[in-house]
Structure 1
Amino acid sequence: MINLFQPQVGAEELDAVAQVFQDHWLGHGPRTKAFEAAFAEHLGVAPEHVVFINSGTSGLFLATELLDLEEGDEVVLPSLSFLAAANAIMTSGGRPVFCDVDPRTLNPTLDDIEQVLTDRTKAVIVLHYGGYPGDIVRIAERCRELGITLIEDSACSVASRVDGRAVGTFGDLAMWSFDAMKVLVTGDGGMIYVKDPEQAARVRRLAYHGLAQPSGFGYAKVSARWWELDIPEPGRRVIGNDLTAAIGSVQLRRLPEMVTRRQEIVALYDRELAGIEGLLTPPELPEGHESTHYFYWVQMSPEIRDQVASDLLADEIYTTFRYAPLHKVPTYGTPDTRLPSSDWVSDRTLCLPLHPGLSDADVLTVAASLRKAVEARTAEKNARS
């Protein structure tokens, strides 16, 4: 089976884990701090603004908790988002308000967001679909003008930039996912960035039970009666640990080579899929934009999309569509929402395998199978009409 995602881990990551075992300290410790510092440098921010946590989802929940949402407060987000964002909003007491997206980039534009802003809008969450930065510069400027908190869900965009500036640093908060399906993996894990220094310190507390000063061996020599508790506000335990941080530090060093290979695969797909009637490939990036290339998506007639996916699966090629439109999920209470571009996208889009473990031969196999399936199913459709 040619998989959609596949983590790239090997001897370097194993060596890093072995060193953690030798030190007999697997929990939150020096390797966690080192990974935070290295990731902060990658972003171009100070280390105290980033916190290594156990998942990108935890980052979304922490971010929405910082909003101090009250009944009636709204948070705008694209319907084509991972469900964790909507769950975080609702769990924090707010109401998700879904906006539409550009049908080709699958990212919301500033116009899409402005169409659903109200005087109850407390924040905007932007997902950088597939690693494409999207309209983040204009969205960030407008949110600053309106005094609306901007949260960047950067799970897909660990290496994305606009004019050299890291995606995730345009807004007030951002989070990255390092789960087993992402570009940089730690098994489970994530990072949260908080622009405001006081809020960053608050997030660090909230991520570890709300403790102002964690009790334990690390504080025994710097604090009398180190076992006593100081909890300004209750939190939870969602911190990262040295075991996963050790893997993450290696992965971060390898990130440029992994993204370069993704770029090569994208270029090969672009070449091999060009000229297939009725098939759209991802649009070119605007000047100054760099993508992590997390997804490679193709779009076709809704009359053949599902059949093409089945044909590829029969050829041992796994495809899927990410992300299912949230405005159609009854849990989120938006039955009257009409988002034509999101609906158009969800009926026509497939994500193809994309990871550095693919050989050129694998990519050519996927492209040939897709071409054959699209042409055959299109011919059948035309014959029926």
Structure 2
Amino acid sequence: MNDVIGMSLLAAAIADFKAKFWLYLSIPVTSGLVGYVTNVIAIKMMFYPLHFVGIPPYLGWQGIIPRKAGKMAAIACDTLVPQLISEREIFDRLDPARVASEIEKPLLDLVEDLMEEIMREYEPTLWETLPLRVRNLIIRRVQDDAPEVVAQVMNDLREQVDTVFDLKDMVTTTLLREPALINAVFQETGREEFKFIGRSGFYFGLLFGIFQMIGWMFYKADWQLPLFGLVVGWATNYLALEMIFRPHEPRRIGPLTIQGLFFKRQKEISRDYGRLIADRIVTPSNIIESVLKGPFADRVFSMIAKHVKRTIDEQSGIARPFIAWTIGTKRYVAMKEAAVSRIVARLPQAVRAVDRYAKDAMDISQTLAQRLEALPPAEFESMLRPAFKEDEWMLIAVGAALGFCVGIAQVIAFGLLAVAPSL
């Protein structure tokens, strides 16, 4: 009896399948498209929009990574310092004399402009009274010592780098200042993995859709399609992520060799990561700005002030007693303080001439690439995956929610087709 009922159900299902062939065929195709689209949209929602769109705090959306930029920046810092590179290693690669030589011309122009500016501001009558030869002599003497002062400051920085430069603070500040930059860290290093998530979504969705189609042949319930949509959206993202990060080592399964895409691309990812960090984050300009304006700025200011004030005192020569006597010692000290402050303020622009040399000497890109590439797979994952793993569950959840919504749309569409003429 059961066999007869089973055969009858099978015959009815086959007849219905033949009668509505294209409708049934649309189920796995739609499922594949759902898998692809939900994966792609979920990835986009991780990065965009950069800023909150909607009515804060809850009615709207901001990309997951930009929204948690502070935490993401901290994770990115943990992959850099001190495991891969340190502040001391960066500065030890710079030759103080070479730095002074590279910035000599803009530094001489800066000294001349500042001397004229300070003297005309603080004591214009006195400066105009001095013979031109004496004024030029003062400026030239300070200029002559400027490269040596730069070299001395660089030596002091190298010796005290741990107390004047915070690499983690610099990286965090840079990433928080530019939300698009923290997106770029993930997008560029994981571009192939994100493409894979999208493509695999279609194939996994197609496979799940075949089972969905078979189930729909024998049992039609309104909850079935939304449930399958949710499962497809969840499973395609989950499986794609597993295939990216598992297994660590190549593993043979029959004629195939399987390895997580992330580890298969370790050399390429290491190179991209190193280049991105060197070109856009740990740059000479950012380092100089951090040293001069970062958490230890007061110490750096004092260090520069010590050398600049001494040089001004030493090189004022025959004019110094006259200046001090004419304008008073306090006024003279105030002028030196103003000179130091303005030198520190304008130094970042003046030292841009050293960017090319510093970038080559520090060799951040190659250093990071080589050290990442040499890591065992487990350590490589622990260095970079936390940046991805922090919100992987959201990627999966968004895919599931979108799949569920598409499933509801399928129910509505199939309901409308059911009342239309048979296909």
Bigger share in helix: 2
Give TM-score scaled by structure 1 length: 0.22
**RCO (CA 8 Å, sep 6+): is it higher in 1 or 2?**
2
